[in-house]
Structure 1
Amino acid sequence: MQSDSTGIWYFECQVAELESYLLSLQRRSVIYPDECEFLLQHKNELQATSNQNTRGVVPLCHRCVTLIQKDNLIEIIVNREQEKIDHVTQLPLRVALLRQIEIWYQTSPNAITGICLVELDGFSNINDTVGHATGDSILFEIARRLERYNSHKFKLVRLHGDEFALAVTNMSSHEEIWGVSKWIGDQFEAPFNTQKGAVFLTPSIGMSLNINTNGEPVSLLECAYVALNHAKSDPLTREKLFNPQHEQKIIRQVLLESQLNQALDDETDLEIWYQPKQSLHNMHISGLEALIRWRHPNDGLISPGEFIPLAERTGLICKVTDFVVKQVARDLPTLRKQGFEGMISINISANDFLRPNVVQALLDIITEQQISTSDIELEITEGAFISDFDHCILLLNSLKEAGFALSIDDFGTGYSSLSYLTKLPVDTVKIDMSFVRELAASTQARKVYKGMIDICKALDFKVLAEGVDHDDQRAVLKDIGCDSIQGYLLSKPLPLDALVGYLLATCNKTPDTE
């Protein structure tokens, strides 16, 4: 059993069932994979010491998990008293939500349990209008408002960014989930007062119930995500309950998660494609952006728009990042032989910024593959700034000190506002492609873009324009001082073999035959 106030869980199983039981606890997010691996590797030591000890039982411990053998039974104690919480909202994180639902399922298997997944509409504009510190204070206030819920047993967590989840159990009927959703909506009727005035926010809410899932806590959460996506796409309502007719989509997501995880472990079916960047000062290819592609054995190429959000939600995105870095490091010697002298840029997810060892993890890969950090540019998306701006700055400085070049992707949208540029230790600003489309035809668009370039140049940043598809756009960008471009005008993303041919033609160089 588990007392939610202490964060301690107790489980018990037969000695012969220990391996399967530990694996089931791992699947249910009760214990971490490294804890499970250690305990399985040393389970024989537990049994040996227990048999030899005549004055008491010698436990087997690893991190927060302890095994104690008593005759034919093994007690498993999971102590999460010091479980990390989100320090912006002071709420627990995703793993705490899944563990609590698992406890409810075990202790009250017939209880009606549901999740209300909350995402804030238009929150990406908050930092641009009232500042990042104020945005964090609003997230903190939202957490305090949602904590007031008291109609049922509940668990409130912050998933990431502007997403919260309120799980409830012991509802008397399935219809009560709509009452929970309405209560959540009511908490946003009052404005959030800031030093710059009142801010009004509205939530989109996706709901799911355990009657529509396969009994796993993660399925309950995935169903809520499906409902949330439907809610956000419906202009008439901002709340949706998961419909069992959507089950095929859930099944596909669960299968894709498992298959993607396997592909990352085996390093199969995944490819890195590269899109060239061109310097407008000498018109040479100055860099490449690495983009992951998944060639599914049955479905062919799966759109990154489908599997990258899935990887973000399930935590696999960090493994994706590591795979991309490793494969880029392997490809780099081949590209150098074809005359490519620039850096390769790699996208870093907001979830990577939550990893406590992300800098060392990247350095370990770079060292193993025997390339230099100066060969790599890390592209940071705006989502990295929503969780904790100060932490993000510290991490960026650490990456910079390690020798990586840094760039801000999709500048001009969401959080990457001008007010934060002065604080970011980056080298390059990539201006979002939405600003490029009207450049050649609109004098006003040209003035706006030039103003953005001038500001970036005043701060000693290089400027790259994304989404350049036409030669007249390139001409305008060169005229107003842009440093480099990227887009279909140069090339679509290319697999390595095609890229080699492209570089041979572009660099006007025969292959190195050494």
Structure 2
Amino acid sequence: MLAFRFRTKLTVVYLALFLAVMGIILLAFYRSVTTNVEDQTRDQLAASARVFERIVNYRVRTLGESVTALAQDYGFREALGTDDKPTVISALQNQARRLEADMAVITDIDGNPIAALLDGEATTAMPMISDDLKQMAERNGVASRMVSVDGRIFELVLTAVRAPVPIAWVAFGVELDKATAQDIKGLSPIELEIGFLYRAEGQQYQVASATSHADALSDFLKTSQPTDEAFRATFMNQEHMFRHLSLVSGDDGNEISALLYYSMDTALAPYDPLVITMVTVLVLSLLLLIAGSVVVARGVTKPLTNLASAARQIAEGRYEEVETESRGDEVADLTSSFNQMISAVKEREKQITFQAYHDPETGLRNRLMFDKMIQQEIDQSDSFVLVIAEVQQLPELRTVLNHQNINDLIKGVARRIEKVADTEVARVSTEAFGFLVRDAEDAETRASLVLNSFMTPFDVADIVIDASVKLGLVKFPGDGEDGATLLRHGQAALDKGRGAPRGVAWYDPDRDSSQKARLSMMSELRGGLKNGEVKFAYQPKLDLESGKITAVEALIRWISPSRGFVPPDDFIPMAERTGDIRHVTDWALRQAIMQAADWRARGLNLAVAVNLSTNDLMNQNLPAQILALLREHDLPAEFLKLEVTESAVMHDMARALDVLNMLSAMGLALSIDDYGTGYSSLSYIKKLPVGEIKIDKSFVLNLAKSDEDNILVRSTIELGHNLGLSVTAEGVEDEDSIGRLREYGCDVVQGYHIARPLPPAELEEFLKESEYGPA
């Protein structure tokens, strides 16, 4: 299509150039011919006008001589003198016949008519003989003038009859009729047309006679006004050249004239053979040009067609070089450059394809390649097993090995799995590999071989490294119909395999369903935080020295419309694993600070304690977030307490210390929650900027009955005080326990014996009625 369009365009350009040149030539030819013909016609009309004038003058002289001879005839003068009218009329008739005159007139010296003939017959219609004409005849002997009578034009010659003084006037006239016009036309070298016109004052021209088409000429004169110069106009659907000759123009406004005209079509007719010849040459040249341009365009566009075809093949992923028959020209250079481009594209696509399907750090097949391997296996096999293998020690090894050592280890792991499992392996994540086993019955055997192969340590950079692997297995098509589902279920199987005794597990749909249910719970939890399903219940904390409630602990409660009451132990651990705990923390901090600020504004000075998770201690932005909330609600830092567990601090003690130090610098009170259930050591507490430890309720619940718990609680209180920390006991449920804790020097207690966790309104009512209410 591209070549066809270019070929067509090239042909059209040739044709356009040719037609433009020929158009200029034809236009110049036409202008030259028409101008030449027009000039010639104008000259010929001028010449014909001169011929017309000479003919008129000749007829005037001839007629004048005959009139003078008649006027000098003795018998004629005698008949006039004796008033012999019959003789006079007879003489006029004889002379008119001899002269072929169409009119004869005799008047007395005063102009009164004596006799008049028209076409040889006596008539009363006679022209008006003006005084100036008579005067001219007296001076010159003969005078002539064109006159119109009843729509006819006559050439009138006048002379005086003397005996010896003027006694009468005699005139003869010859009509300017069609025959006269035809005679003049016959003397013209061209097919001249002549019309004789007359016009009375204020009226249009009338046609007296014409060589042809007198009626059409009359219609033409109704819309066209002749001028004394040559002019062009359309007459009888043809272009004509006209020349107007004014013959008589009297003082009375009457006018007699002649109109000479000639058809331009007739004038151009001799050039028709030349025009036909030129058109024939033009058509033949055009055909030859089309044929030649098609040949040339085909020769030019054929290489381009090949290049366009090669470009389409490149788009389809086929890279074939283009051959050309030309050498050393622009097309050959273009083809050579195109072939170089094809080679470069092939090499670049090879690199891109490799990078797309391989891990850039290790060169191993990546997740995208594994997806492709799965799809190919789905298309070709009825069943197979997908295996996900995860190396367990990589996070710890990254702290002691450099980046290159880790990459060497990963490549070593991949090679070992490939060798043992006898299949291709792909790296599907940072720590996991995937491979396929076509024989489902052989899958567990291969898995066992892989597990046993890791009993042999790896040697990386002269370092002996022990590593282990966990496996998850999933079947096709029973556990999934497509690659994405199989991989997702493979990860679920790997989760199960991490806790299996042998380190390998098959995909369990029931277990996966419960996992999905827990994930669904997280979605509902996020909605509950927004729509008010999640609230705080506040448990009072009793200061044993003052006997008053000085603080409360905010405990989260979730009442779901679909699940009912959801215990915190059901959703908090899941929120920590999924990362949704950040939403809970954001809500908890804002809610607790708003509540403490509200109580303080109403004169109830209660500090509110909020629990932080492991993820919260890893959040470097947490101090800034809390500071912004305190400023927003104008709450002093002393009214917010933050409680963290031992396990949360020990997860990454360096990062946790950074966050805790910033929080302590802000004036916030920090507590170690559930003390005694973790590492049970006070050595790390010396490093923490905390001011309180909370003894876990498991040691306090049976304080009145268990001597061991008494010893542990008492020693913990003493050690805490020795470190300068206050001590809070959780889970106090009887008065005896309070007495013992007071005896041991415990600072604060909380538990059901004091009060259960209460909503804000009930807590306020409790404080009003209780003996523990603030002073």
- 1:495 aligned onto 2:759: yes
Structure 2 residue 667 is the aligned partner of structure 1 residue 398: no
Matched with 1:255 is 520
What is aligned with 1:361? 625
Pair 1:153-2:426 in alignment: yes
Conserved? CA contact 2:387–2:471, under 8 Å: no
Bigger drift between 142-151 and 464-473 goes to: 142-151
Secondary structure of the corresponding residue to residue 308 of structure 1: helix
Q: Which segment is superposed worse, 294-303 or 395-404? A: 294-303
Distance 2:631 2:651 in 1: 30
* Residue of structure 1 equivalent to 2:509: 244
SS in structure 2 opposite 1:274?
strand
User: 1:410 Cα deviation (Å)?
Assistant: 1.0
Q: CA deviation at 1:472?
A: 1.5
Moved more, 203-212 or 289-298: 203-212
Find 2:586's aligned residue among 322, 326, 339: 322
**Equivalent residue of 2:643, what SS?**
strand
Which residue does 2:551 correspond to in 1? 287
Correspondence 1:223 to 2:492: yes
The 3 A distance-change label for structure 1 pair 222 and 170 is: closer
Residue 403 of structure 1: SS of its match in structure 2? coil
Paired residues of 1:274 and 1:289 also in contact (CA < 8 A): yes
The answer to whether the aligner puts 1:276 opposite 2:545 as a matched pair is no
Q: Distance in 1 between matches of 2:619 and 2:680?
A: 21
How do residues 37-436 of structure 1 correspond to structure 2 at under 5 angstroms? 104-105=370-371, 108-109=374-375, 140=399, 149-150=413-414, 151=417, 152-154=425-427, 166-172=431-437, 176=443, 207=472, 209=474, 212=479, 215=484, 220=489, 223=492, 227=496, 231=499, 240-264=505-529, 266-336=530-600, 340-415=604-679, 417-436=681-700
Secondary structure at the aligned position of 1:408 is classed as strand
Say yes or no: does 1:446 pair with 2:683.
no
**Residues 619 and 659 in structure 2, CA contact (< 8 A), matched pair in contact too:** no
Q: Aligned equivalents of 1:333 and 1:297: distance in 2?
A: 30
Q: Compared with structure 1, are the counterparts of its residues 414 and 170 closer, same or farther at alpha carbon in structure 2 (3 Å cutoff)?
A: same
Question: Structure 1 residues 207, 363: closer, same or farther in 2, change over 3 A?
Answer: farther
Deviation of residue 283 (structure 1)? 2.0
Aligned AA for 1:250? Answer: Q
Alpha carbons of structure 1 residues 218 and 179: separation in structure 2 relative to 1, 3 Å: closer
- Which position in structure 2 is the counterpart of 1:458? 722
Aligned to 1:195: none
The letter of the residue matching 2:631 is: T
**Are 1:478 and 2:742 matched, yes or no?**
yes
Give 1:382 deviation, angstroms. 2.1
Determine if contact 2:538/2:552 at 8 Å carries over to the other structure.
yes
Shift of 1:508: 7.5
Aligned equivalent of 2:269: none
Distance 2:467 2:703 in 1: 34
Is the contact between residue 432 and residue 465 of structure 1 (CA under 8 Å) also seen in structure 2?
yes
Please report how far the alpha carbon of residue 464 of structure 1 lies from its aligned counterpart in structure 2 after TM superposition.
0.6
Q: What is the rounded CA distance, in whole Å, between the counterparts of 2:391 and 2:761 in structure 1?
A: 44
When residues 463 and 342 of structure 1 are mapped into structure 2, their CA distance, relative to the original with a 3 A threshold, is: same
C-alpha deviation, 1:289, in angstroms: 1.0
Which amino acid in the other structure matches residue 519 of structure 2? V
Cα 1:205–1:104, aligned 2, differ >3 Å: closer, same or farther? Answer: closer
CA–CA distance in structure 2, aligned partners of residues 171 and 371 of structure 1: 60
1:277 offset after TM fit, Å? 1.1
Letter in 1 for 2:510: Q
- Matched letter for residue 690 of structure 2: V
Larger radius of gyration: 2
SS of equivalent to 1:418: coil
Identity of aligned residues (%): 28
Local SS of the residue matching 1:430:
strand
Aligned to 2:290: none
Alpha carbons of structure 1 residues 507 and 338: separation in structure 2 relative to 1, 3 Å: farther
Distance 1:427 1:181 in 2: 52
Contact conserved, 1:177 with 1:207, CA < 8 A, in 2?
Answer: no
The one-letter code sitting in structure 2 at the alignment partner of 1:363 is L
Q: Distance in 2 between matches of 1:503 and 1:217?
A: 58
3-state SS in 2 of match to 1:366:
helix
Residues 114 and 207 in structure 1, CA contact (< 8 A), matched pair in contact too: yes
Distance 1:186 1:481, change over 3 A: farther
> In 1, are the aligned partners of 2:729 and 2:748 still within 8 Å (CA)?
yes
Q: Which consecutive residues of structure 2, in runs of 5 or more, have no partner in the other structure?
A: 1-358, 360-365, 378-384, 418-424, 458-465
The amino acid that maps onto 2:606 is G
Q: Could you list the per-position Cα deviations for residues 338-392 of structure 1 after superposition, in whole angstroms to 9, with x for gaps in the alignment?
A: 7642311111110112223121122222322332322111111123223321221
Q: Which 10-residue stretch deviates more, 139-148 or 268-277?
A: 139-148
TM-score, length-scaled by structure 1:
0.62
- CA 172–509 in structure 1, closer or farther in 2 if over 3 Å, else same: closer
Q: TM-score, normalised by structure 2?
A: 0.42
User: Retained in 1: the 8 A contact 2:700–2:731?
Assistant: yes
Deviation (angstroms), 1:154: 3.6
Unaligned 5+ segments in structure 1 are 1-80, 82-99, 121-135, 158-165, 191-200
- Bigger drift between 445-454 and 201-210 goes to 201-210
Name the CA distance, whole Å, in 2 between partners of 1:218 and 1:337: 56
Task: Report the CA distance shift for 1:507/1:255 in structure 2 as closer, same or farther (over 3 A).
Answer: same
Distance 1:362 1:167 in 2: 38
The 2-side partners of 1:486 and 1:346 are apart by 15
Check conservation: 2:489, 2:507, Cα contact below 8 A.
no
Which residue identity lines up with residue 254 of structure 1 in the other structure?
Answer: L
Give 1:110 shift: 6.2
Deviations 1:178-222 (Å, cap 9, x if unpaired)?
A: 9668867986999xxxxxxxxxx9999784649657947995598
- Given that residues 411 and 431 in structure 1 are in contact (C-alpha distance below 8 angstroms), is that contact kept between their aligned partners in structure 2? yes
Q: 2:261 maps to what in 1?
A: none
Residues 250-305 of structure 1 show CA distances to partners (whole Å, capped at 9, x for unaligned) of 331232122222333x3531111111111111221121111222221212221111
Partner of 1:30 in structure 2? Answer: none
Aligned residue for 1:469, secondary structure, equals coil
CA contact (8 A) 2:367 2:427 kept: no
Contact 1:348–1:379, Cα closer than 8 Å, also in 2: yes
Could you tell me whether the CA contact under 8 Å between 1:463 and 1:484 is conserved in 2? Answer: yes
Secondary structure of the structure 2 residue equivalent to 1:332: helix
CA distance in 2, matches of 1:227, 1:320: 27
Structure with larger RCO (C-alpha < 8 A, sep 6+): 1
Instruction: Please state whether the residue corresponding to 1:273 is helix, strand or coil.
Output: strand
Q: Write the distance in 1 (CA, Å) between the matches of 2:569 and 2:374.
A: 38
Count, aligned residues? 375
How far 1:445 moved relative to its partner? 2.5
Contact 1:290 1:345 in 2 (8 A): yes
Q: CA deviation at 1:462?
A: 0.5
> Which structure carries more helix by proportion?
2
Q: What amino acid maps onto 2:426 in structure 1? A: K
- Matched to 1:244, the amino acid is P
**DSSP-derived class of the 2:770 partner:** helix
